Structure 1
Amino acid sequence: MNKSIRKAAVIGSGIMGSGIAAHLANVGIPCLLLDMVPKELTAEEDKKGYTLEHPAVRNRLATGAIARLRKTNPSPLYDDDFADRITPGNLEDHLSQISEVDWVIEVVVENLQVKKDLLSQIERQWKPGTIVSSNTSGISIQEMVADCSEAFQKYFLGTHFFNPPRYMKLLEIIPGTKTDPKIVQQMKLLCENVLGKGVVLAKDTPNFIANRIGTYGLLITLQQMLKNGFTVEEVDAVTGPAMGRPKSATFRTLDLVGLDTFIHVADNVYRNITDESEKAAFATPDAISSMVARGWLGEKSGQGFYLKQKGENGSEINSLHLSSMEYHPQKKVTSGSLEAAKLAKGARAKTKALIVTGDRYSEFAWNILKQVLIYSAEKVGEIANSIHEIDEAMKWGFNWELGPFETWDALGLVRSVERMEKEGLTVPLWVKEWIAQGNQSFYQKDQGALYVVVDQRYSLVEQPAKIISLSNLKEQNKIVKGNNGASLIDLGDGVACLEFHSPNNAIGADILMMIQQSLVEVRNNFEGMVIANQGRNFCVGANIMLLLMEAQDEEWDEIDGIIRLFQNTMYKVKRFEKPVVAAPHRMTLGGGVEACMPADQVIAGAETYYGLVEAGVGLIPAGGGCKEFAMRISQRVDGHPEADLQPYLNHVFETVGMAKVSSSGHDAKKLGYLRSTDRIIASQDHLIYEAKQAVLQMSRAGYEPMVEGKIRVAGSEGKSVLQLGAIGMKQSGYISDHDLLIAKKLAHVLAGGDVPAGSLVSEQYMLDLEREAFLSLCGEPKTQQRMQHMLTKGKALRN
């Protein structure tokens, strides 16, 4: 029962099947990818003289799917090379090979009979003990295997990945009536710890949890829109971030999903439920049927609720008027309730502000939410055992910031129920009984522990062992010290965590001072330190606004002081006598990377987008980033003074000069930002736990700080090679004059300045080069223009 999944087989090589295979490959599980044998040759195959019996033809569907993985954007793979972990095959020649795997995943068309037939074939080749699952989005798990043996059913369950499998956190596990509970637990742990998923246990009902609630919510929104005459852009303005939902809101989401897919999902519930009022809610609106009949399916067909068209001012996105089925330019939507939501901090406050303001958009939002909340309450016990699983499913599967019951608490449970009943709605009896006991909310927090209503009493929400919540620790008064930019938090077991919490986690003097103070505290009272946070992104870099203001005022001594403080702080981290582990996630840019580079080890989330991007704002890294790269190059040739530094130097120069950002943690290793000793884990939720364990392991092993050594540099010769390459790019029109200036400064620093090739220099010498180049670039008007553009537009200016 406790054996690991060493190899898997995915059957069905469509978008979902190949995406699941890619994610298995991402986490190191090799797999077979099988599909049907084609019945006809392509023109290219015919030209090559192939027959239908040729292996290339018979494996074409799976082989083609693997090839597309490398070209898809955003990539389903952490690293393109991981596609080599997937072996293509076909169902006629290779199905017997499933006896060699530990997990078989069926991902074929959403048709019960097709799935039953395939599972019958699988059982004939099945080795007892092999886990088999279906990636259905809503077909009954039990009906699929009704004709299979009890032994097979014991190892069969649903594993509903959300699309795209690499990026979507939710995975619904659906046991059948005869699935062994130990198999369910094994798969839950595997999907959480190895695949990095957020797992909820769903009941075997139509569309399970997230698609059941999410589809209902989208249909209610459509019904309210058509009833009250709202436009597409008005609906999206209300049902996006103002309501704690993604920017894609309602109609951009439907365009992304595809209207044909949406209808199929809604129809699955419609056909499989008996309650007439519920059936009516899942009936497809005529307007949607009309769009599908016209082929307006969304992004995959080029138009849906939105259509990109060429206008007088270039490309513009127009929205569909459902009454006329014509596209018109979008109109800006604003109102008191939308502005109130925009100004409010956090999803709870935004949602409440939207509802209570009292204009037509506020009323529209309430008319949607009240029905979704009641429907969710009605489904407790039917689609899931707890309201917490429903909330998590909606947050992980539909990217809602608050689940339905968290939203209800945000609006005020008692007050909103009174309003619902006053408006003639029937609130589920269990909710009314809960309120009658004197309870004011579904959730309750006490000393960092979360409790949720279960069977008319508060029950503790058990956190998985590998999840450490900084917010919970802060509620337990575990903050050792802090300021406006950062805090030092006691993680227990002698390990402290330095958490950034400035706006966007941008590094300023407050964070740097807290790092230095934290080192003193950890030296005296802890075994070591983790640098991590649980913000949306780890760190977007240094505080550009502060630097720009100082540059515009020509306060060069102030900028010099800021950079010295940054450099000195990072140097202290690097030479600290106790272990330091950094745990970055998602956007980790500029100074955020430089805050991680001095750590003894970096444990990064797989979805870490890591890069020294200073060139994009007209600067070069000056918090130790250039020095650290030069040191790594020197260490690669340590003991071989005759070795050529230039190839490594060229790679770093290109990476930093072009402000390359990794597409994953694995890509960060390929780019050289992460070292071979740094680790990457799939679950962002486990980062702080794993970093803490790494600190303890180093401490127990008798940690000794790194001793400063000399850095071998390429000197003036290496600098000339780099600058010649940059000049060539300028002459070819790839870069501007200002880009060339930045490149020359960067080359000067990375190569170690104007010293002879192979010279040994100190770390402080390299830091001085960084700082001097940075200061000179700050004085350039075009650099200041780039900084201003990044602050106002959020993207780089090429001037």
Structure 2
Amino acid sequence: MANTLLVRRAAVLGAGVMGAQIAAHLTNAGVDTVLFDLPAREGDPNGVVTKAIANLTKLSPAPLADKSLAERIVPANYDTGLELLRGCDLIVEAIAERMDWKQDLYRKVAPFVADHAVFASNTSGLGINALADVLPEALRPRFLGVHFFNPPRYMHLAELIPARATNRDVLEGLEAFLTTTLGKGVVIAKDTPNFIGNRIGVFSMLAAMHHTQQFDLGFDTVDALTGPAIGRPKSATYRTADVVGLDTMIHVIKTMADTLPNDPWHAHFKAPAWLSGLVEKGALGQKSGAGFYTKRGKEILVLDREARDYRPSAGELDTEVAAMLKERDPAKKFAALRGSQHPQAQFLWACFRDTFHYSAYHLADIAETARDVDFAMRWGYGWSVGPFETWQAAGWKQVAEWLAEDIVAGKAMSTASLPDWVFDGRNGVHGQGGSYSPARDAQVPRSDNPVYARQRFPDALLGEAFEPGRTVYENDGVRMWADEGDDIAVVSFKTKMHTVSDKVLDGLQEAIAIAERDFRGLVIWQPKEPFSAGADLSGALGLLQAGDVKGFEAMVANFQATSQRIKYALVPVVAAVRGLALGGGCEFQMHSARTVFALESYVGLVEAGVGLLPAGGGLKEFAVRASDAAGPGGDVFAQLKTAFESVAMAKVSTSAFEARSLKLARESDRITFNTHELLHVARAEARALAEGGYRPPLPARRIQVAGDVGIATFKMMLVNMLEGRFISEHDYEIATRIATVVCGGDVDRGSVVDEEWLLRLEREHFVALAQMPKTQERIAHMLKTGKPLRN
């Protein structure tokens, strides 16, 4: 068993952009965190940190999963607060990337570091052994590098870099902590400049810049070529540089030039003249309002290299090249790119070739295996496929021959020979047995750190497949499966975006019946995001347009019956949610015995956006919960207000924490940080409920409602919004009907109703709205554009 790292309290040294956000993410994960910086020159000595914490609530994307968490971070400074370090189990240093500054700080804090504490430097490329040299002997086995990618809450990659003296248990303990507690994908890197992600990532950007000039392409054209068209993020090359900051980009390139003097590509480690020119003019990218791109009014302009001025951005893929990129067979795609005379195709082949060349040449120095490189690029740079996977998929031997030909012909960026292992008869570097390690000259399996036993379906590399489990039941809508000998079954949806169709409804009801008979629990989980984008709108619109109101009503009734079946199943049904859980998807998790949410869960009852109201039991459930929370004779209306606003304004949570504050999740629901552990945690929850002698709740027959007074109070709020033109007449109509249902209809305040009463109200108002022309316009617009219509 790996040495467990127990972290009750952590400290982050440095309240700059990265340090403050690392502290925020530790706090998201429930770690009591102290944030340090220099003492303020005047006023409160912790003023620098207090300001940084306040700033966390203003950033977008939000580093905090809930703004209220900001007040949980403890501010401190290096003059008066160092005693606080003695109580910390993990200390992460995250000050500016200067070796001398970091070493000075280490000398200052070392006497206060507890004998068991792990000390880590968050650096994007400084030497870890050089940093360790100034530490006392006793602390060195507990010191290592950790490199969080920015922004730390959202970027999956964390690189861990052991120093020569780092204890293996410390390394494995921190790896497990980062994986489960902070939800990271961990890659172990060697102590070389820029580690793995930035070494390959920055090189690939330099290659794109070099070939931009060589093939005389516009910056916007290069971004069209190097974004989603090849499985990379929308920000592609030059938009990414603008976001990172062009001054930072130049600094990173200079660091590569200074620290890698013997790299065969060293001649290319310099900023192109046009990049330096922008920085000299103060055009630093997004932070200064202009870089490769700038905005004038609503129009996005791009820098024209020849004219040295901005022009409208129009960079488009040539149709011939776009067709090559759509080719499904990677071998055919790469043959077409290499064989084409079109400058855009030649540019792409050159970028791939030089990145493959660089990655293979340096693999032995920078990483243990090819898997580490591919995961670093996927998790840290958002590539859908890593460089070695891309090469292997395109035909290892053929691509290797092409690389060798181009190197000999002087077409590649370096004349360095490819390593011998590339040509040893292999067909690639990844397979079922593991990934290739040049140091060991063998296929090395995945890490045996026990933390990975929690990942039933880890991120799969090319050539890897994970046993899909035994199919228990399947129809066109769902697949129900279980692992051999497991008493918890899993059901997954087969529809696009996991929308809820008739087949999903029927399949879920059947799966629950089988689970009650043959299993101890059932988990609703999807192999890929989202959990569910809600009801199948096109099917619903089809029924309406055909005038089949009876069929439409039957579909709604079946939806409600499925939700109720989830709630009253005799075995616990646990929902495992990640990504979007909208509309019906949200209602299913509301009816489950418990929900396990991934931190990045975007939950909402958004039917108002398409002119409808939730009718899968969601509004009924709000009324039941408000009655339970108020207690006999209590103020039900006060319990409904947040839920009503969430639904009427079609709010979607920006995290699982916010789902709780919007009343779309319960306090008893679990939040897990690593999406690959979601299924493990959900099955454990289902098993724990079963072990505890689970019984479903008793039918809710005495639900106290807010009634006519509640409806009137909500309507007053809505009239103000209508008069202030914040909502349209149709929005007012929808919201009034939502208020009517959650308040239990036009009955006296404090009246007692049952679930069937509330479900009937949901159906009636849903069907009435669905038949209105404005609602049908909204549905059609959403199906066509993917955006809500305000009519």
* Global fold match (TM > 0.5): yes
1:406 to 382, 389, 392: 389
Give 1:462 deviation, angstroms.
Answer: 4.6
1:423 to 386, 403, 406: 406
Please tell me the residue identity of whatever aligns with 2:419. L
Please tell me the residue identity of whatever aligns with 1:467. Q
Give 1:215 deviation, angstroms.
Answer: 0.1
Q: Distance in 1 between matches of 2:722 and 2:336?
A: 52
Residue 362 of structure 1 is matched in structure 2 by 345
Give 1:343 deviation, angstroms.
Answer: 4.9
Residue 49 of structure 1 is matched in structure 2 by none
Q: Distance in 1 between matches of 2:398 and 2:136?
A: 52
Give 1:330 deviation, angstroms.
Answer: 1.6
2:731 to 717, 739, 743: 739
Give 1:349 deviation, angstroms.
Answer: 9.4
Please identify, of 622-631 and 208-217, the stretch whose mean Cα deviation from structure 2 is larger. 622-631
Are the equivalent residues in 1 in contact too, given 2:531–2:577 (CA < 8 A)?
yes
Please tell me the residue identity of whatever aligns with 1:604. F
Q: Distance in 1 between matches of 2:30 and 2:586?
A: 26
Give 1:59 deviation, angstroms.
Answer: 1.7
Q: Distance in 1 between matches of 2:51 and 2:734?
A: 43
Please tell me the residue identity of whatever aligns with 2:664. Y
Q: What TM-score, normalized to structure 2?
A: 0.93
Q: Distance in 2 between matches of 1:90 and 1:476?
A: 52
Instruction: Give the superposed CA RMSD.
Output: 2.2
Give 1:624 deviation, angstroms.
Answer: 1.1
Q: What TM-score, normalized to structure 1?
A: 0.93
1:675 to 666, 680, 689: 666
SS of equivalent residue, structure 2 residue 147: strand
Q: Distance in 1 between matches of 2:276 and 2:344?
A: 26
Residue deviations 1:454-474 (CA, integer Å, cap 9, x gap): 444444335711111198887
Residue 590 of structure 2 is matched in structure 1 by 597
Q: Structure 1 residues 582, 742: closer, same or farther in 2, change over 3 A?
A: same
Report 1:411-490 matches (<5 A). Answer: 411-424=394-407, 428-434=418-424, 436=425, 439-445=426-432, 451-454=434-437, 455-462=440-447, 464-469=452-457, 475-476=467-468, 478-490=470-482
Give 1:353 deviation, angstroms.
Answer: 9.3
1:118 to 105, 108, 117: 105
| Structure 1 gaps, min length 5 | 40-51
SS of equivalent residue, structure 1 residue 606: strand
Report 1:189-200 matches (<5 A). Answer: 189-200=176-187
Give 1:355 deviation, angstroms.
Answer: 4.0
Give 1:484 deviation, angstroms.
Answer: 4.0
SS of equivalent residue, structure 2 residue 603: strand
Residue deviations 1:526-577 (CA, integer Å, cap 9, x gap): 2211111132322211112222233233322222122122111111111111
SS of equivalent residue, structure 2 residue 81: helix
Give 1:21 deviation, angstroms.
Answer: 0.7
Report 1:547-696 matches (<5 A). Answer: 547-638=540-631, 640=632, 642-696=633-687
Are the equivalent residues in 2 in contact too, given 1:341–1:353 (CA < 8 A)?
no
Q: Structure 1 residues 221, 556: closer, same or farther in 2, change over 3 A?
A: same
Q: Distance in 1 between matches of 2:291 and 2:214?
A: 20
Residue 316 of structure 1 is matched in structure 2 by 299
Q: Structure 1 residues 144, 483: closer, same or farther in 2, change over 3 A?
A: same
Q: Distance in 2 between matches of 1:440 and 1:548?
A: 50
Are the equivalent residues in 1 in contact too, given 2:127–2:193 (CA < 8 A)?
yes
Q: Distance in 2 between matches of 1:242 and 1:623?
A: 39
2:360 to 367, 377, 380: 377
Q: Distance in 1 between matches of 2:133 and 2:7?
A: 26
Are the equivalent residues in 2 in contact too, given 1:243–1:354 (CA < 8 A)?
no
Residue deviations 1:166-218 (CA, integer Å, cap 9, x gap): 11111111111111111111111111111111111111110001000000000
2:218 equivalent to 1:231 = yes
Please identify, of 352-361 and 655-664, the stretch whose mean Cα deviation from structure 2 is larger. 352-361
Give 1:399 deviation, angstroms.
Answer: 0.7
Residue 412 of structure 2 is matched in structure 1 by none
Give 1:15 deviation, angstroms.
Answer: 0.7
Are the equivalent residues in 2 in contact too, given 1:216–1:281 (CA < 8 A)?
no
Residue deviations 1:727-749 (CA, integer Å, cap 9, x gap): 22212222110110001111111
Residue deviations 1:316-349 (CA, integer Å, cap 9, x gap): 101111233211112251334554367567x979
Q: Structure 1 residues 427, 659: closer, same or farther in 2, change over 3 A?
A: farther
Are the equivalent residues in 1 in contact too, given 2:630–2:639 (CA < 8 A)?
no
Report 1:84-163 matches (<5 A). Answer: 84-163=71-150
2:764 equivalent to 1:768 = no
Please tell me the residue identity of whatever aligns with 2:299. E
SS of equivalent residue, structure 1 residue 382: helix
Q: Structure 1 residues 277, 457: closer, same or farther in 2, change over 3 A?
A: closer
Residue 724 of structure 1 is matched in structure 2 by 716
Are the equivalent residues in 2 in contact too, given 1:29–1:85 (CA < 8 A)?
no
Residue 797 of structure 1 is matched in structure 2 by 789
Give 1:360 deviation, angstroms.
Answer: 3.6
Residue deviations 1:295-335 (CA, integer Å, cap 9, x gap): 1111101011111113xxxx110111123321111225133
Q: Structure 1 residues 353, 679: closer, same or farther in 2, change over 3 A?
A: farther
| Structure 2 gaps, min length 5 | 409-415
Q: Distance in 1 between matches of 2:689 and 2:766?
A: 35
Q: Distance in 1 between matches of 2:46 and 2:333?
A: 51
Please tell me the residue identity of whatever aligns with 1:382. D
Q: Distance in 2 between matches of 1:572 and 1:349?
A: 49
SS of equivalent residue, structure 1 residue 89: strand
Q: Distance in 1 between matches of 2:469 and 2:584?
A: 29
Q: Distance in 2 between matches of 1:290 and 1:19?
A: 32
Q: Distance in 2 between matches of 1:706 and 1:164?
A: 42
SS of equivalent residue, structure 1 residue 4: coil
Q: Structure 1 residues 541, 353: closer, same or farther in 2, change over 3 A?
A: farther
2:699 to 692, 708, 733: 708
Q: Distance in 2 between matches of 1:764 and 1:473?
A: 46
Please tell me the residue identity of whatever aligns with 1:9. A
Residue 277 of structure 2 is matched in structure 1 by 290
Please tell me the residue identity of whatever aligns with 1:748. T
Q: Distance in 1 between matches of 2:359 and 2:392?
A: 14
Q: Distance in 2 between matches of 1:584 and 1:354?
A: 41
Residue 151 of structure 2 is matched in structure 1 by 164
Please identify, of 519-528 and 80-89, the stretch whose mean Cα deviation from structure 2 is larger. 519-528
Are the equivalent residues in 1 in contact too, given 2:469–2:483 (CA < 8 A)?
no
Are the equivalent residues in 1 in contact too, given 2:230–2:325 (CA < 8 A)?
no
Q: Distance in 2 between matches of 1:354 and 1:238?
A: 15
Q: Distance in 2 between matches of 1:660 and 1:160?
A: 35
How many residues were matched structurally?
770
Q: Distance in 2 between matches of 1:176 and 1:477?
A: 41
SS of equivalent residue, structure 2 residue 571: coil
SS of equivalent residue, structure 2 residue 615: coil
SS of equivalent residue, structure 1 residue 584: strand
Q: Distance in 2 between matches of 1:148 and 1:704?
A: 57
Please tell me the residue identity of whatever aligns with 2:736. K
Q: Distance in 2 between matches of 1:620 and 1:343?
A: 40
Are the equivalent residues in 2 in contact too, given 1:627–1:766 (CA < 8 A)?
yes
Please identify, of 541-550 and 130-139, the stretch whose mean Cα deviation from structure 2 is larger. 541-550
